[in-house]
Amino acid sequence: MTTTTKVSISEKVKEYVKNAASIPPDMELKNDTLIFDEGLFDSMGFMALISFIDEEFGVQPGDDELVVENFESIDAIVNYLSEKLSA
């Protein structure tokens, strides 16, 4: 996985989260913002994120990959996707 590709994954994921999540007007979305702790995604939002990952990157997480460490922030999602795509 090249740095450029990781940057492009990051941009796509960030753009998606920015558009899909209910971000309060006074909140700045950072790459390490904890999206579940901040209440940015509910079940529907999370399921939509999983669908986005499948459609955009062709990655379908297995049951054992549906853990908070892989999805808790934009950084976590990007790292998870980068690993999956380079495997």
Site for other proteins in 58-87 (CB under 8 A): 60-61, 63, 66-68, 71-72
Q: Which is nearer to other proteins, 3 or 43 (CB)?
A: 43
Nearest to 85 by CA among 13, 16, 36: 13
Q: Does 48 bind other proteins (CB under 8 A)?
A: yes
Q: Does 54 bind other proteins (CB under 8 A)?
A: yes
Distance from C-alpha of 50 to C-alpha of 66, rounded to nearest angstrom: 10
Q: Does 56 bind other proteins (CB under 8 A)?
A: no
Of 10-18, 25-33, 49-57, 74-82, the window that binds other proteins (rule: CB under 8 A) is: 49-57
The 3-state DSSP class for residue 41 equals coil
Distance from C-alpha of 57 to C-alpha of 50, rounded to nearest angstrom: 10
Let me know: does 10 contact 78? Beta carbons within 8 Å: yes
Q: Which of 1, 7, 27, 47 binds other proteins (CB under 8 A)?
A: 47
Q: Does 57 bind other proteins (CB under 8 A)?
A: no
Distance from C-alpha of 40 to C-alpha of 53, rounded to nearest angstrom: 17
